[in-house]
């Protein structure tokens, strides 16, 4: 088992997949802030990430 797997096991993290989507231009999604960690993966192509309080969007 690798070190990351060991750390995650010790932290007793649990995960959920809410949806898997394929988007094409133009599209947008708003995710409300909460106390849970959120992770999103861009597998192919690129997208812009707009974060409240940051003036310029980030290219992913």
């898997």: which residue's tokens? 20
Question: CA angle 42-47-48, nearest 5°?
Answer: 130
Q: What is the mean pLDDT of residues 39-44?
A: 80
What value does the mean pLDDT take over residues 28-57? 83
Q: Could you tell me the residue ranges of all domains in the chain?
A: 18-60
pLDDT of 56:
94
Question: What mean pLDDT comes out for the span 18-47?
Answer: 80
52 contacts: CB under 8 Å, gap ≥ 6:
33
Q: Which residue has the higher pLDDT, 13 or 21?
A: 21
Share of the chain above pLDDT 90, in %: 7
């Amino acid at each position: 088992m690798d070190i990351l797997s060991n750390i995650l096991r010790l932290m007793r993290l649990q995960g959920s997949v809410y949806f898997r989507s394929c988007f094409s231009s133009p599209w947008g999604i708003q995710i409300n802030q909460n106390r849970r960690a959120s992770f999103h993966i861009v597998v192919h192509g690129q997208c812009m990430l707009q974060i409240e309080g940051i003036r310029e969007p980030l290219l992913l």
